[in-house]
Structure 1
Amino acid sequence: MSDDRESRIRQKAYEIWEQLGRPEGQEQDHWIRAEAEIQVDETESTAGVPEGAEDLGPKIASNRG
């Protein structure tokens, strides 16, 4: 795991811990939840343009003229 990713997970786990009222003994649960949320964020940010969508831009634009 990269240091940057681990740092983001640590920060997110801390935020979760605070949001839940700083409960004791749930560090692993907070870490797992944070890791899952970071994974979703990474997946959404790298999803990009759906396959074939890049072909629609010029065709749509030329049909509007």
Structure 2
Amino acid sequence: MAEPSKQEIDARAYQLWEQAGRPEGREAEFWHLAEQELRNEDKGSPIRTPDTL
């Protein structure tokens, strides 16, 4: 799978931010979550850690 584009990450981060009630000051948190989610989209778990590999 190709790396997600900045636009894809931006769009997903915005969706996550809206779903969380648009909290202020947490943009970086949602950006990283969206990036990780998109990178792992083709795998079983949206959040992969060394313990779940």
Fold shared by both chains (TM-score > 0.5): yes
How far the C-alpha of 1:39 sits from its partner, in A, is 0.3
Please tell me whether residue 22 in structure 1 is matched to residue 22 in structure 2.
yes
Identity between Structure 1 and Structure 2 (%): 40
Distance 1:35 1:6 in 2: 9
How far the C-alpha of 1:35 sits from its partner, in A, is 0.3
Please tell me whether Structure 1 or Structure 2 has the larger radius of gyration of its CA atoms.
1
Unaligned runs of 5+ in 2: 44-53
Q: Which of the pair is proportionally richer in helix?
A: 1
| 1:5-63 deviation per Cα after TM superposition (whole angstroms, max 9, x unaligned) | 1100000000000000000000000000000001011xx18xxxxxxxxxxxxxxxxxx
Unaligned runs of 5+ in 1: 46-65
User: How many residue pairs get matched?
Assistant: 40
Q: Which has the higher contact order (CA 8 A, sep 6+)?
A: 2
